[in-house]
Amino acid sequence: MDSAAQPQPEKRSAWKVSRLPLYARVLIGVALGVLLGVIFKTGPIVGGLRNDDLGQLGLLVIRLLKALAVPLILFAILDAFLRVKISARSGGWLILICAVNVSVAFAIGLTLLNTIRPGDTWRGRLNEIAGVVEHETGSLSSAKPEAPKATLDPLKNIAGYVPESLIDPFLRNNVITVVLLGLLGGAALRKVKSRQEARGDAATFQPVERFVEAFYHTLIQMLHWVVQAVPFAVFGVVAQVVGRSGIAVFQALGGFLGVILLGLGIHSLIYYPLVAWLVGRKTPRTYIGGGADAILTGLSCNSSLATVPVTLECLKEKIGVSDESARLAACVGTNLNNDGITLYEAMAALFLAQAYGFDLTVGQQAVVVLASLMAGIGVAGIPEAGLIVLPLVLTAAGLPEQLILVAIPLILPVDWIIARVRSGVNVMSDMLVAILLDRRRS
């Protein structure tokens, strides 16, 4: 979600790019990239500058986005642990309810992707795209992607996520291991903080809290700047790909958009109301009608975190949920209630794996699911969270890095639609969790 610049009275009529929302700038970048690709193809544009050069510059932005995502996830978790404290019993129920909801989301998404297989319509196209960056990677177009490691042996799976050093998961962009380290470090920080508070010496721990908070917000600011450059990255990569492969590369975007919206729709409009009715004793009219203001706010502002005040009001005033349950689900649980993001990440990873001709086994899909879940937890509430962590989830799917860097700008033209639906689904998830928590207390 972009923050609009403050208008200056003397320049109200001026047209400023910064006033445009991110999705609008992405669509402009796509249009200009297609135009340059169609007109100039692989030939020079001006002064020896070619579409290939624009594409290579665009790849740098996406690569930087991926590099910043891993430390952001770590410090987001550490910061959450330091700010939030809940009882073990309430926390256990919250985790259980969220785990059930996200499991259903994954079941819906994986069933649709493995049944409809929309990525097959792009098969061959991504091989052409791979050829676009072949000069950087040697023989990417003929290389087989590395399968994510997964076995039926639980000890081997666990061992795969235990790093040999603290630096190793950051070098390999292993989101699952980074989240596990964040949870371990966050729990340790929380324990030390509680011990210091019990001794009446809380002031000695404040520098640690300030460091974590400052570093976290510094990373957020850095990512904000990088995200603002994403439309230029899209412009360059699209110009490069269209110049070499033509505009037919976008033919599958309709199928990609349709199947993901179908998955999100089934989960939010069928599963959520059904559970709220049968388990939470709230009719679909009460659940959806009472929460309509929060849902529409999430859809319009593209942020479930920014919608929290409206969500709380709807839960307490219109749906009839207690203040304690509403706050626990919408404020604390916002780090877990991200069904929209996790469902999208897993489906996008499987779509691109299918498009590349890489059929993931059940075990490999389980790794992608786990990576999506961990990434969703790590970036809860962060604007453009789905875009930030998508490269990490695609890496977990075993797709080559250069292919990931090129494929992401190609799916961004429809991501602005999906992003708003994801936010709406996350808001509905907060509401359902609050209803179920309140039902447990009654």
Q: How far is CA 234 from CA 66, 92, 241, 407, in A?
A: 15, 42, 10, 10
Look at residues 355, 428, 418, 412 and name the one whose alpha carbon lies nearest to residue 121. 355
CB neighbours of residue 302 within 10 Å = 23
Q: What is the C-alpha to C-alpha distance for residues 165 and 175, in angstroms, rounded to an integer?
A: 15
**5: Cα within 13 Å, side-chain hemisphere:** 14
Q: How far is CA 46 from CA 49, 207, 239, 309, in A?
A: 5, 53, 14, 51
Q: What is the pLDDT of residue 285?
A: 93
The C-alpha torsion from 168 through 79 and 190 to 88, rounded to 10°, is -100
pLDDT tens for the chain, 442 residues: list them.
333 334 444 444 333 445 677 778 878 988 898 899 889 888 888 888 988 889 888 878 878 877 887 787 788 778 877 876 666 677 788 888 888 988 898 889 889 989 998 888 777 666 555 554 444 334 433 444 444 444 444 455 566 667 788 888 787 767 678 878 887 888 899 889 988 888 888 888 889 999 998 998 898 888 788 888 888 888 888 888 788 777 766 666 788 889 999 999 999 999 999 999 999 999 999 999 999 998 988 887 667 766 877 888 899 889 999 888 887 787 666 666 778 888 888 888 888 888 877 778 877 888 888 888 777 665 555 556 666 777 878 887 777 777 777 777 777 777 778 888 888 898 899 899 999 988 877 6
Q: What is the pLDDT of residue 158?
A: 61
Phi (first) and psi of residue 50, to 5 degrees = -120, 165
Q: How far is CA 12 from CA 6, 7, 257, in A?
A: 10, 6, 36
Q: Where are the domains of the chain?
A: 21-441
Q: What is the C-alpha to C-alpha distance for residues 382 and 227, in angstroms, rounded to an integer?
A: 12
Q: Where are the beta strands (DSSP E) in 24-100?
A: 44-46, 49-50
Q: Which two tokens stand for residue 269?
A: 């409009």
| Topology at the third CATH level for domain 21-441 | Proton glutamate symport protein (1.10.3860)
Q: Do residues 384 and 189 touch, judged by C-beta distance below 8 A?
A: no
Q: What is the pLDDT of residue 1?
A: 38
Q: What is the C-alpha to C-alpha distance for residues 322 and 316, in angstroms, rounded to an integer?
A: 6
Q: What is the C-alpha to C-alpha distance for residues 407 and 237, in angstroms, rounded to an integer?
A: 9
Q: What is the C-alpha to C-alpha distance for residues 284 and 52, in angstroms, rounded to an integer?
A: 52
- Three-state DSSP at 45 gives strand
Q: What is the longest distance spanned by two Cα atoms in the chain?
A: 73
